[in-house]
Structures are given as structure tokens and as C-alpha cells.
Amino acid sequence: MPKPSIHPEYYPNAKVYCDGQLVMKVGSTKPLLKVDIWSGTHPFYTGSQKLIDTEGRVERFMRKYGIDDQIT
């Protein structure tokens, strides 16, 4: 038999806000959620993230361990 009043209240339409704009509705134990970043603004998901080899790390690794550029 479940114990009464031990679970938090569930809000099936909790609102998620990012930068003051409503971005989605989710189920939560809080009626209002404020986030700094979400998938709509994250560089990985928007495609604006760029991978940069700033110090030639790959080349330095290849030199250090004597790996040829061509794999045979």
C-alpha cells in the first residue's frame, strides 16, 4: 500500500523558459523551469560549433610517437 503525501506534486505541463522566452513544455515537479541553454541554442545542435586544432596537436602526437601519415 503506497504511503500518502510523500511524493512531490507533478506538473504535466511545466513551462521551460530560456532568455525569457517559452521554449517547451515538459512534465516536472516544478511548474516553471528557467534554463541558460537548451538544444535550440547550443552550438553542437545548431551546427555552429567548429572543431579547431589550435596547436597542431594531431601533428605533434604523430611526431612524438613516430606514426607515419600513411597507414599501410
Q: In whole angstroms, how far apart are CA 58 and each of 37, 44, 50, 65, 72?
A: 31, 22, 16, 11, 19
Query: pLDDT tens for residues 37-56?
Result: 888 887 777 777 666 666 67
Query: pLDDT tens for residues 1-32?
Result: 668 889 899 999 999 999 899 999 999 999 99
The model carries a pTM of: 0.55
| Residue 21 phi, psi (nearest 5) | -115, 140
- DSSP for 35-60, please give it: ES--TTT-HHHHT------TT-HHHH
